[in-house]
Chains A and B, each alone.
Chain A
């Protein structure tokens, strides 16, 4: 079974631009979560989607948004990029609501904002 796939692996943007990151969950998983990892703040929850609906949202500004498609693939978008948005963005999928529910993470997208 293929794992969680995130693309691209690395991204360089400049301040003010916007960026879209993509995540393909494990086949059969309908829940996708996004996390931001920085050296200063550590791992922070961004949002979770289940069956195309946002189920939970973390404490991030509205510049951070996401969506999930009918095939469970998910994208997150960051508009008007700031230097502080430089981070590793991790996507995770899970079989929400099942006995063995747990998060499976991808390798992340490393975003650098210059």
Chain B
């Protein structure tokens, strides 16, 4: 069965610090997809990234970067020079090949608090 573990329940940082959110996943499929979503206080989940199991290239988007390592079944997310607006709950999620992008198994989330 598939599973996503986000061991960090809550992280507090001061603005401009770098922060890494950890995500470890379990799946028996060879084809799978990994996602990160952000949930601000308003409630709606905002898509950040999707990565498929055959693409281990790391990705950078502005202050955000993602490190995918199949050898350790991890898909970590780093925010560089954090800002107060980054405060939110961040979810890592997994879907297996035949279930598509809509049937996601989510981790429990990491609440990030960035103080000025």
Contact = CB atoms under 8 A, between A and B. Distances in A.
Q: Do A and B come from one complex?
A: yes
Contact of B101 (A43, A58, A103, A105): A103
B28 to A, nearest CB: 17
A42 B102 contact: no
B101 A42 contact: no
Given A106-B44, A108-B44, A56 B102 contact: yes
B43 A102 contact: no
B91 A107 contact: no
Interface in B67-116: 91, 93, 99-109
Contact of B43 (A33, A88, A101): A88
Contact of A56 (B37, B47, B93, B99): B99
Name the residue among A94, A96, A103, A108 with the largest chain B CB count within 10 angstroms. A103
Interface residues of A, number: 26
Contacts of B60: none
Chief secondary structure at chain A's binding surface: strand
Given A42-B108, A43-B91, A105 B102 contact: no
B30 interface: no
Contacts of B11: none
Interface string B11-55: 000000000000000000000000001000011111100100000
B106 A107 contact: no
A77 B66 CA distance: 38
Nearest to A33: B102
B101 A45 contact: no
Interface string A84-97: 00001010101010
Nearest to B4: A42
